Amino acid sequence: MKFTIYQESRPGARPNNQDRVAYSYTRESLLLVVADGMGGHLHGEIAAQIAVQYVVEAFQRAARPLVQDEAMFLSRCLGNAHAAIQDYAFDKNLPEAPRTTIVACLIQKSVAFWAHAGDSRLYLLRRGRIAQQTKDHSRLQMMLDQGLIDEEAAARHPARNRIYSCLGGSHSPQIEFSSPVPLFADDIVAICTDGVWGNLASEDFNTHLAGTNILDSTPGLMDQAERQGGASCDNLTILTMHWHDDYAEAQGPAISTEAMPADGITTRMEGFARPRPGESGGLTDADIEQAISEINLAIQKYSRFDPGK
């Protein structure tokens, strides 16, 4: 495999960042994942952290160096992450489990498989246009599908952030799976939270990313989304991946897995952000350390259910 990848997460105008993002790869398999936590102080962050960390650790166990059944892997991962969040809430005696959206994409043999719950999105850009994108699990999307509202009105609608499917919470998630999607040289996969796409038009993704070096262009896309979000800007998180084949000209420091050992794994995952000097309203170091310990306990219970088998 050969690809270029960029990830970034910003708090926006919020005191805490409840988004999480990670990627992990072996010689023959690549995982991309983004989650947007929902809930009160700390709990949304924990739901997103449990979801992303569980999926990444399951990938590390299953990709040897390929995941054997992509759709089953994604199904079990997201289902077990949902259960782990609910267990965390039970152990903490919370009145309701915290919640998180999620998008997870698995790429093997130049074929992409993805699954999502909620309104974090995946875009596949090909030849200067959006070839595919996920459909939000939201009331607003249902209204759009039924012709009750148009895109212009939807951008200003007060129900735009109300979703009906997520990991955690009191209901089982409605997880949507893609069919296998072949990738070609210069395809770009972008996954992001609603803090990014909610402040942009669809054509902005093409304008910034198509035909560019994503390492240079993705920060500009984030800058535009943050500017347009203004004083109420939500957390913003994006992961962009430019796919190369053997004949593609590498852009920037492209990652090649050709020389990796068969059992090698590389992972990058964002964690809890430490408070900036002089900033109030953020998490303390004690909050973070306790949360990390509780998250690891919640994940370990479900780690024995290996999605790769």
Backbone φ, ψ for residue 88 (5° rounding): -60, -45
Beta-strand ranges (E) seen in 17-110 are 19-25, 29-38, 99-108
Give residue limits of the domains in the chain.
2-302
Q: What's the confidence (pLDDT) of residue 278?
A: 57
Question: How many alpha carbons lie under 13 Å from residue 156 in its C-beta half-sphere?
Answer: 3
The sign of the CA dihedral 160, 165, 168, 169 is positive
Q: What's the confidence (pLDDT) of residue 248?
A: 44
Other CB atoms within a 10 A radius of the CB of residue 149 amount to 16
Ranges of residues in the chain whose predicted pLDDT is under 50: 246-250
Q: What's the confidence (pLDDT) of residue 151?
A: 65
- Architecture of the domain whose range is 2-302: 4-Layer Sandwich (3.60)
Q: What's the confidence (pLDDT) of residue 293?
A: 83
Q: What's the confidence (pLDDT) of residue 246?
A: 46
Quick one: residue 168, left, alpha or beta (phi over 0 = left, psi -120 to 50 = alpha)?
A: left
Q: What is the mean pLDDT of the chain?
A: 87
Q: What is the pTM of this model?
A: 0.84
At 93, is the secondary structure helix, strand, or coil? coil
Q: What's the confidence (pLDDT) of residue 211?
A: 83
Q: Which amino acid is at 240?
A: T
At 163, is the secondary structure helix, strand, or coil? strand
